[in-house]
């Protein structure tokens, strides 16, 4: 059993660097959704409470996984375990990462920190890659991607899709 090959941050912003507005992602970009789904298949996902709340609000059946073929861990100091069936709840990011490694290794899964802003900042010590997509347009967001974290990474490649630019970064070796 080896450590996960990819331990990544995955995010999408608008052309102004926005991540979200009013607790939701204010655009619908099928290319980004497909890319997110493809990249995170068979992975462990770590997210903050607000991101969990958004994803969970789209679920009708609380017993179904939050996202198919993926295991979810939500980091929060205030959430109650009762009634939480589609994610594991952990109160700090270090223990969340430990659980993610424990779950990922026997399965050969990767690990992704999927947001929001606070989690992206805190994830830097753990990750080896950043997958950062840019969608067309500006959506007057109230939460922006913390671009300063990219100082810790080297740009690897970017490619254009019709309505999306995908960029990948690799952690600098220090
Ligand atoms: N465009 C994208 O790729 C993308 C992805 C994800 C989310 N979003 C958007 O981003 C926004 C939410 O981001 P956000 O930064 O405001 O919130 P967030 O990171 O999703 O959640 C923040 C909450 O998570 C918990 N948390 C975070 N770090 C923690 C830690 N180290 N230990 C314990 N708990 C921790 C805290 O909850 P407690 O207060 O309960 O302790 C905190 O209030 C939404 O608009 C969402 O739609 C966008």
Encode pLDDT of 94-116 as tens digits: 999 999 999 999 999 999 999 99
Mean pLDDT (whole number) for 160-173: 96
Q: How many angstroms separate the CA atoms of 12 and 120, rounded?
A: 12
Mean pLDDT (whole number) for 121-138: 97
pLDDT of amino acid 74: 98
Examine the pLDDT at 3 and tell me if it is beyond 90. Answer: no
CATH number of 33's domain: 3.40.430.10
Examine the pLDDT at 83 and tell me if it is beyond 90. Answer: no
Examine the pLDDT at 125 and tell me if it is beyond 90. Answer: yes
By C-alpha distance, which of 52, 63, 59, 57 is closest to 85? 63
Per-residue model confidence as pLDDT tens digits over 41-82: 999 999 999 999 999 999 889 899 999 999 999 999 999 988
- Three-class secondary structure of residue 11 per DSSP: strand
Closest ligand 1 atom number to CA of residue 90: 33
For a mutational test of ligand 1's pocket, the pick from 29, 49, 52, 144, i.e. the residue with the most ligand atoms closer than 8 A to its C-beta, is: 49
For a mutational test of ligand 1's pocket, the pick from 10, 57, 118, 143, i.e. the residue with the most ligand atoms closer than 8 A to its C-beta, is: 118
Domain contains 1: no
Distance 72 CA to ligand 1 centre (A): 14
Closest ligand 1 atom number to CA of residue 36: 3
Share of the chain above pLDDT 70, in %: 100
Q: In this structure, are residues 73 and 43 in contact, taking their beta carbons and an 8 Å threshold?
A: no
pLDDT of amino acid 4: 93
pLDDT of amino acid 72: 97
Close Cβ partners of 87 (under 8 Å, ≥ 6 residues apart): 52, 56, 66, 72, 73, 74
Domain contains 89: yes
Mean pLDDT (whole number) for 13-34: 97
- How many domains does the chain divide into? 1
- Which residues does ligand 1 sit against, CB inside 6 Å? 11-12, 19-20, 23-25, 47-51, 54, 75-79, 91-93, 114-119, 122, 143
Domain contains 109: yes
**Would you state the torsion angle of the CA atoms of residues 114, 117, 118, 121, taken in this order, to the nearest 10 degrees?**
80
Higher confidence at residue 62 or residue 152?
A: 152
User: In which domain, by residue range, is 135 found?
Assistant: 7-171
Distance 49 CA to ligand 1 centre (A): 5
Domain contains 76: yes
Q: Give pTM, 2 decimals.
A: 0.97
Examine the pLDDT at 1 and tell me if it is beyond 80. Answer: no
Dihedrals φ, ψ of 15, to 5°? -75, -5
Distance 73 CA to ligand 1 centre (A): 12
Q: In this structure, are residues 96 and 46 in contact, taking their beta carbons and an 8 Å threshold?
A: yes
Domain contains 2: no
Closest ligand 1 atom number to CA of residue 122: 31
Domain contains 162: yes
């Amino acid at each position: 059993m080896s450590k996960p090959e990819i331990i990544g941050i995955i995010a999408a912003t608008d052309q102004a660097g926005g991540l979200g507005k009013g607790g939701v992602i204010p655009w619908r970009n099928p290319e980004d959704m497909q890319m997110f789904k493809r990249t995170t298949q068979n992975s462990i996902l770590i997210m903050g409470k607000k991101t969990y709340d958004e994803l969970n609000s789209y679920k009708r059946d609380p017993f179904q996984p939050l996202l198919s073929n993926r295991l979810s861990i939500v980091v929060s100091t205030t959430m109650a375990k009762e009634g939480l069936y589609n994610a594991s709840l952990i109160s700090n990011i270090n223990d969340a990462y430990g659980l993610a490694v424990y779950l990922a290794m026997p399965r050969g899964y990767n690990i992704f920190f999927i947001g929001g802003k606070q989690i992206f900042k805190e994830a830097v010590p753990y990750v080896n890659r950043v997958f950062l997509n840019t969608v067309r347009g500006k959506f007057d967001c109230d939460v922006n991607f913390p671009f300063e974290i990219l100082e810790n990474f080297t740009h690897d490649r970017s490619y254009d899709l019709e309505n999306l630019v995908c960029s990948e970064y690799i952690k600098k070796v220090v």
